[in-house]
Chains A and B, each alone.
Chain A
Amino acid sequence: MISALVTSAVVLQMWCVAGLLGISVLAILLSRSKSSTAVVYGATLAICAVGLVGSLRSLGGVPMNGSTVTLPIGLPWLGAHFRLDALASFFLFVVNLGGASASLYGLGYGHHEQAPHRVLPFFPAFLAGMNLVVLADDAFSYLLCWEFMSLASWALVMAHHREPGNAKAGYVYLVMASFGTLALLLAFGLLAGPAGDYGFAAIRAAPHTPYVATLVLVLMLLGAGSKAGLVPLHVWLPLAHPAAPSHVSALMSGVMTKVAIYGFIRVVFDLLGQPTWSASVVVLFLGGITAVMGILYAMMEKDLKRLLAYSTIENVGVIFASLGLALAFQANGLKLAAALAFTAALFHVLNHSLFKSLLFFGAGAVLTATGERDMDKLGGLIHRMPFTSFAVLVGCVAISALPPFNGFVSEWLMFQAVLQSPELPQWALKILVPAVGALLALAAALAAACFVKAFGVTFLGRPRSPAAEAAPEVDRYSLAAMFILAALCLLAGILPGPVIDALSPVTIEILSSRMPIQANEAWLSIVPIAESRSSYNGLLVMVFITISASLAVFFIHRFASHALRRGPAWGCGFSDPTPAAQYSGGSFAQPIRRVFGTLVFHARDHVEMPAPGDIRPARLRIELHDLVWEGMYQPIAGAVGFSADRLNRLQFLTIRRYLSLVFATLVTLLLVLAIWS
């Protein structure tokens, strides 16, 4: 009976979406009952697991006869087209993996929710929206699903609307999402051209003039870039992502930004056809700047969830820079290098969805256990929450791109692609690509520093507040979700070959080239171009680190002293200081603030030293400016506010004035028409 309903892979995915929407309705009906949390998250978990298996099968090239479906909804002459190809399968895999782990986490975390009826109906709807965006095969359904996804996530951002700052976050998000959709609307309008065929197949077949292609690229950077968090369109992201409940934050940061990247790839790589090399310059430049700016913001942050949101911006920058590299190589016909850069981007998409979800789950666990997001009020949690802290440690190591975890592999592949830049014929790219490579290397190093700070200040040292001192370990579901993701981070890091091979259908479809088959390499190594150039073996690195660490342990314990003493920490002669006097997040960031902050944030340190004899404490005040917000958004907001104030007078006119206004408008329109024609 099931096989009668599920005739193809895409139909299976559509049934999953229908199931998610059904759960959403069910959640509204159940919203007041006690069991609603378990029912909704359990059902979402099951459906996401089905979608996950389905997407893996379709990515592995097991076609179930045909991969398109047309529903008789949407525009009357068009219908709603949905299609499943390799690219969509990969992104469906990412979405459903994130969805499944967030649902599993939600099974435990959801019980702490103050207002479940504000979260439960929108959570499956948000997942359904993301699935639909990836599946859509015409511009109209794409935009509709995109808006559905945005609105569902907006509702989730506003779930705790009474908390300070959340209303502003929701407002900024709504404005930026509308702006992004407007840009996408214009981009699809340009792509469809005067003929107005909105099906992706027709758009792909039609030729596009260079002028249209450039405009579409810019509009896609604005539309998809604002959703993904490209600097300077990122301002909503660090406000909105932390405002949502933590498992939703994980979905927004780990998965929704990837859906935006999917949109960019779909239009720029697939629909526009052969790229020009000048397009890659913009993408590369924006990617590099975004990576460095994102991680610098993260470094300055002391709110754990906002730090993670800023780090998402960094990773999006890394992915866009890889995509820019792929564009540059593809425009010049360097097929192998393009496949390498593109694979690196996709691999990083997967990796980031894994470890960012894990870290947001960890932040959520800390939030449930202590009620705190401010790192300077945490500390010492490794004793109180040993399992959570271990999982978060794995996430921090993975996101810092340390071998043998997965972050290293994708960044290594990307740098291998950067090293191919001398083969590019254009001098602009020959210079720009290594410069962007240097920016990315800087971002990677800063990311490591940032996560040393995030983990060290939160989990190590002494507790800085009573809440941190009494923190309990979180429930089993949350721990299971975190440990599954941590295991996947390690697995993708030590066995990158199968992942790269699994991505090859996508690169063949989009770039019609692929990386060398990794399954043939000896010892599970991965080889980006050729064995003689470079290779990496995550498993070997892990085995050798383990062996040499064990050897060191063995020899130290065999030959060195066994005596171990515990004593109070050395307080530099100032014994038993308050825990607040420990090294804090701000202290950790201080050197980096000194080096980069004066330029990037106009950072100033003010020391208020009382006069001699005065017994007031001295104070250090740090002044930071968000130049993007102050220089770009505040003037725009000011101009909109100013004109709105002026136009407000129109609201309080007498009927005579209104009538004369209407008459004047009519006359002006007629005049314009008369002169125009």
Chain B
Amino acid sequence: MVVIPDIIVQGVQMLLVLLLAPLLTGFVRKIKARLLRRQGPPLLQPYRDLIRLMRKDVVLADNASWLFRVIPYFIFAATWIAASLVPTFRSGLLFGLQ
């Protein structure tokens, strides 16, 4: 099967996008700050923010429904799938534009 290596490449690509995305945010913030002649947060600050946010409680409104719990995961998944279509380190991906 030719498909198996393709799936692995696709998986690596998706993982790479996921892991590097906060770094890009950190980089943009740094550049913005430097343009305003400020020091700016450290490059890895978004990772620290994410780890900190993971430890926080979930607070729901009294009348929040199951949809409120489910939708964030779907939004994440949809964004991730969309990102997987963009070639980063290899073109001709399984899902990507041929």
- In the complex, A563→B74 CA distance in Å? 21
- In the bound complex, residues from chain B placing their C-beta under 8 Å from that of A493 are none
Please determine whether B63 and A561 come into contact, CB atoms closer than 8 angstroms: no
- In the complex, A556→B55 CA distance in Å? 10
- In the bound complex, residues from chain A placing their C-beta under 8 Å from that of B64 are 566, 569
Segment 42-60 of B: residues with Cβ below 8 Å from A: 54-60
Q: Which of A166-174, A227-235, A547-555 contacts B (4 or more CB under 8 A)?
A: A547-555
Q: Is A341 an interface residue (CB 8 A)?
A: no
What are 6 sample pairs from A and B whose C-beta atoms fall under 8 A apart? A460-B67, A553-B73, A563-B57, A563-B58, A567-B61, A569-B63
Smallest CB gap from A561: residue in B: B55
- In the complex, A566→B77 CA distance in Å? 25
Q: Is A383 an interface residue (CB 8 A)?
A: yes
Given contact pairs A556-B54, A560-B55, A561-B56, A549 touches B61 in the complex (Cβ within 8 A): no
- In the complex, A540→B60 CA distance in Å? 33
Q: Is A615 an interface residue (CB 8 A)?
A: no
Number of A-B contacts (CB under 8 A): 74
Please determine whether B76 and A561 come into contact, CB atoms closer than 8 angstroms: no
- In the complex, A90→B65 CA distance in Å? 40
Place the interface of chain B in its size category.
Answer: 20 to 34
Please determine whether B58 and A541 come into contact, CB atoms closer than 8 angstroms: no
Cβ of B46 to closest chain A Cβ, rounded Å = 16
Q: Is A532 an interface residue (CB 8 A)?
A: yes
Cβ of B2 to closest chain A Cβ, rounded Å = 11
- In the bound complex, residues from chain A placing their C-beta under 8 Å from that of B63 are 380, 383, 461-462, 569
Please determine whether A566 and B55 come into contact, CB atoms closer than 8 angstroms: no
Please determine whether B57 and A565 come into contact, CB atoms closer than 8 angstroms: yes
Cβ of B29 to closest chain A Cβ, rounded Å = 23
Please determine whether B61 and A569 come into contact, CB atoms closer than 8 angstroms: yes
Beyond the given pairs A548-B76, A567-B62, 18 more chain A to chain B contacts, judged by CB atoms under 8 angstroms and listed by A's residue number, are A382-B66, A383-B65, A460-B65, A461-B63, A540-B95, A541-B81, A544-B81, A545-B77, A546-B77, A549-B73, A549-B76, A552-B76, A560-B54, A563-B57, A565-B59, A565-B60, A566-B60, A569-B64
- In the complex, A142→B77 CA distance in Å? 51
- In the complex, A383→B95 CA distance in Å? 38
Please determine whether A382 and B61 come into contact, CB atoms closer than 8 angstroms: no
- In the bound complex, residues from chain A placing their C-beta under 8 Å from that of B76 are 548-549, 552
Q: Is A164 an interface residue (CB 8 A)?
A: no
- In the complex, A556→B57 CA distance in Å? 12
Place the interface of chain A in its size category.
Answer: 20 to 34
Smallest CB gap from A461: residue in B: B63
- In the complex, A72→B74 CA distance in Å? 60
- In the bound complex, residues from chain A placing their C-beta under 8 Å from that of B81 are 541, 544-545, 548
Cβ of B73 to closest chain A Cβ, rounded Å = 4
Cβ of B31 to closest chain A Cβ, rounded Å = 29
Cβ of B71 to closest chain A Cβ, rounded Å = 10
Cβ of A297 to closest chain B Cβ, rounded Å = 27
Q: Choose among B56, B61, B73, B84 the residue that contacts A552 (Cβ–Cβ < 8 A).
A: B73
- In the bound complex, residues from chain B placing their C-beta under 8 Å from that of A211 are none
Given contact pairs A545-B74, A545-B78, A532 touches B98 in the complex (Cβ within 8 A): yes
Q: Is A572 an interface residue (CB 8 A)?
A: no
Please determine whether A568 and B56 come into contact, CB atoms closer than 8 angstroms: no
Please determine whether A567 and B54 come into contact, CB atoms closer than 8 angstroms: no
Q: Is A655 an interface residue (CB 8 A)?
A: no
Smallest CB gap from B80: residue in A: A548
Please determine whether B67 and A382 come into contact, CB atoms closer than 8 angstroms: yes
- In the complex, A549→B69 CA distance in Å? 12
Q: Is A653 an interface residue (CB 8 A)?
A: no
- In the bound complex, residues from chain B placing their C-beta under 8 Å from that of A561 are 54-58
Please determine whether B65 and A382 come into contact, CB atoms closer than 8 angstroms: yes
- In the bound complex, residues from chain B placing their C-beta under 8 Å from that of A673 are none
Cβ of B24 to closest chain A Cβ, rounded Å = 19
Smallest CB gap from A579: residue in B: B63
Q: Is A564 an interface residue (CB 8 A)?
A: yes
Please determine whether A548 and B77 come into contact, CB atoms closer than 8 angstroms: yes
Identify the 3 closest CB pairs spanning chains A and B, nearest first. A569-B61, A549-B77, A560-B54
Please determine whether A566 and B62 come into contact, CB atoms closer than 8 angstroms: yes
Q: Is A427 an interface residue (CB 8 A)?
A: no
- In the bound complex, residues from chain B placing their C-beta under 8 Å from that of A544 are 77, 81, 84, 95
Cβ of A39 to closest chain B Cβ, rounded Å = 39
- In the bound complex, residues from chain B placing their C-beta under 8 Å from that of A77 are none
Given contact pairs A545-B81, A549-B76, A553-B73, A564 touches B62 in the complex (Cβ within 8 A): no
Segment 371-402 of A: residues with Cβ below 8 Å from B: 380, 382-383, 393
Please determine whether B54 and A559 come into contact, CB atoms closer than 8 angstroms: yes
Cβ of B1 to closest chain A Cβ, rounded Å = 12
- In the complex, A546→B80 CA distance in Å? 12
Segment 500-556 of A: residues with Cβ below 8 Å from B: 531-532, 540-541, 544-546, 548-549, 552-553, 556
Smallest CB gap from B98: residue in A: A532
- In the complex, A575→B29 CA distance in Å? 36
Smallest CB gap from A531: residue in B: B98
- In the complex, A282→B67 CA distance in Å? 43
- In the bound complex, residues from chain B placing their C-beta under 8 Å from that of A564 are 57-60
- In the bound complex, residues from chain B placing their C-beta under 8 Å from that of A566 are 59-62, 64
- In the bound complex, residues from chain A placing their C-beta under 8 Å from that of B67 are 382, 393, 460
- In the complex, A559→B73 CA distance in Å? 15
Cβ of B11 to closest chain A Cβ, rounded Å = 10
- In the bound complex, residues from chain B placing their C-beta under 8 Å from that of A559 are 54
Cβ of A306 to closest chain B Cβ, rounded Å = 25
Cβ of B10 to closest chain A Cβ, rounded Å = 9
- In the complex, A241→B60 CA distance in Å? 39
- In the complex, A274→B63 CA distance in Å? 60
- In the complex, A552→B15 CA distance in Å? 12
Please determine whether B58 and A565 come into contact, CB atoms closer than 8 angstroms: yes
> Which has the most chain B C-beta neighbours within 10 Å: A461, A532, A549, A561?
A549
Smallest CB gap from A565: residue in B: B59
- In the complex, A548→B80 CA distance in Å? 8
- In the bound complex, residues from chain A placing their C-beta under 8 Å from that of B14 are 548
Smallest CB gap from A463: residue in B: B63
- In the bound complex, residues from chain A placing their C-beta under 8 Å from that of B62 are 566-569
- In the bound complex, residues from chain B placing their C-beta under 8 Å from that of A531 are 98
Please determine whether B55 and A567 come into contact, CB atoms closer than 8 angstroms: no
- In the complex, A277→B5 CA distance in Å? 48
Smallest CB gap from A570: residue in B: B61
Cβ of A526 to closest chain B Cβ, rounded Å = 14
Given contact pairs A383-B65, A559-B54, A567 touches B77 in the complex (Cβ within 8 A): no
Cβ of B9 to closest chain A Cβ, rounded Å = 15
- In the bound complex, residues from chain B placing their C-beta under 8 Å from that of A556 are 54, 73
- In the complex, A461→B8 CA distance in Å? 43
Cβ of B7 to closest chain A Cβ, rounded Å = 11
- In the bound complex, residues from chain A placing their C-beta under 8 Å from that of B73 are 549, 552-553, 556
- In the bound complex, residues from chain B placing their C-beta under 8 Å from that of A548 are 14, 76-77, 80-81
Cβ of A15 to closest chain B Cβ, rounded Å = 46
- In the bound complex, residues from chain A placing their C-beta under 8 Å from that of B58 are 561, 563-565
* B13-26 contact mask (Cβ, 8 Å, vs A): 1 or 0: 01000000000000
